[in-house]
């Protein structure tokens, strides 16, 4: 049995509100314990686990020990931790929870989204290659977007074709090609690098913000509007670049600007 990221909270919480006596009675079932064992084994020492919406962040500090490093100041976070601790122990792991960094519960939806993004970024900075080099230390600008397949997905009682892509980056230490989910790449590299695309000749199309487009037009410089394929060579473009207005930087000019 396999659980997605957001399933976990529902499984652990069972959809109820915080209630201390229920937390004490709660016991994880066999499927959840097995999942926990497998999940924790996949995260390297120094890696973190921050179940979406739980308000708790755990770090793996050695083979069998985890530590609660951050916790939101909210009764639900305390309640989640009581249950996660039982789950860790049932999976044969130890948890230290004496000194988590406490942070205030968000005051608004925007604040909560910002905190979630920050937590996710922290996790992304810990992603590592098989050789243990953090992905954040790769040359993220030299990403190649790879078209994987087109899938028909159900949409409004009909089906709708969706393109699956991967962002490929290469390890500067062991030369391994790492294919990332585009959303994960965006999280790791940031929006500016995500919103540029390299053609087969090494030229870069860099998407412009609305203000940048205004300045381009005012200064009389022409950009390029992108569709689903590159005009002329018919190279496929990744969906997140569709409909953007870009400046084009040929390979030759990029080298000159680095000197
Ligand atoms: Zn590597």
As a whole number of angstroms, the longest Cα–Cα distance in the chain is: 70
Residues spanned by the domain of 179: 131-194
Cα 219 from chain centroid (whole Å): 37
Distance 78 CA to ligand 1 centre (A): 38
Distance 249 CA to ligand 1 centre (A): 29
Assess if residue 219 is contained within a domain.
yes
Q: Give the model's confidence band at 159: pLDDT under 50 very low, under 70 low, under 90 confident, else very high.
A: confident
Q: Are residues 23 and 42 in the same domain?
A: yes
Assess if residue 63 is contained within a domain.
yes
Distance 144 CA to ligand 1 centre (A): 17
Q: Are residues 145 and 232 in the same domain?
A: no
Q: Are residues 176 and 160 in the same domain?
A: yes
Residues surrounding ion ligand 1 at CB below 5 Å: 129, 131, 133, 171, 173-174, 176
Lowest mean pLDDT among 141-145, 219-223, 255-259: 255-259
Residue reference for tokens 């708790």: 56
Cα 44 from chain centroid (whole Å): 17
Distance 170 CA to ligand 1 centre (A): 8
- By the 8 A CB rule, do 121 and 136 touch? no
44: pLDDT strictly greater than 70? yes
Distance 178 CA to ligand 1 centre (A): 9
Assess if residue 138 is contained within a domain.
yes
- Average pLDDT score, the chain: 86
Which tens digit of pLDDT belongs to each residue from 76-99? 899 999 999 999 999 999 999 998
Distance 122 CA to ligand 1 centre (A): 20
Assess if residue 66 is contained within a domain.
yes
**Which pLDDT score is estimated for 11?**
63
Q: Are residues 106 and 182 in the same domain?
A: no
The number of beta carbons lying within 10 Å of the beta carbon of residue 141 is 13
5: pLDDT strictly greater than 50? no
């Amino acid at each position: 049995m396999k659980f997605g990221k957001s399933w976990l909270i529902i499984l652990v919480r069972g959809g109820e509100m915080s209630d201390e006596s229920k937390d004490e009675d709660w016991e994880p079932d066999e499927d959840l314990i097995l999942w926990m064992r497998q999940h924790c084994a996949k995260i390297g020492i120094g890696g973190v686990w921050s179940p979406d919406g739980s308000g708790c962040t755990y770090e793996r500090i050695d083979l069998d020990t985890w530590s609660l490093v951050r916790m939101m100041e909210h009764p639900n976070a305390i309640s989640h931790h009581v249950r996660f601790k039982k789950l860790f122990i049932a999976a044969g792991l130890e948890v230290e929870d004496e000194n988590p960094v406490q942070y205030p519960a968000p005051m608004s939806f925007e604040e909560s989204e910002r905190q979630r993004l920050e937590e996710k970024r922290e996790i992304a900075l810990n992603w590592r290659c098989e050789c243990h080099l953090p992905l954040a230390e790769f040359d993220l600008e030299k990403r190649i977007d790879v078209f994987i397949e087109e899938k028909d997905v159900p949409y409004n009682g009909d089906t709708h074709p969706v393109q699956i892509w991967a962002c490929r980056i290469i390890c500067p230490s062991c030369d391994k090609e790492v294919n990332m989910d585009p959303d994960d790449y965006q999280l790791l590299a940031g929006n500016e690098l995500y919103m540029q695309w390299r053609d087969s000749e090494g030229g870069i199309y860099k998407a412009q913000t609305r203000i940048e487009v205004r300045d381009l037009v005012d200064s009389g410089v022409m950009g390029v509007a992108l569709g689903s394929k590159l005009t002329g060579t018919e190279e496929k473009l990744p969906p997140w670049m569709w409909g953007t207005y870009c400046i084009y930087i040929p390979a030759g000019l990029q080298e000159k600007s680095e000197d």
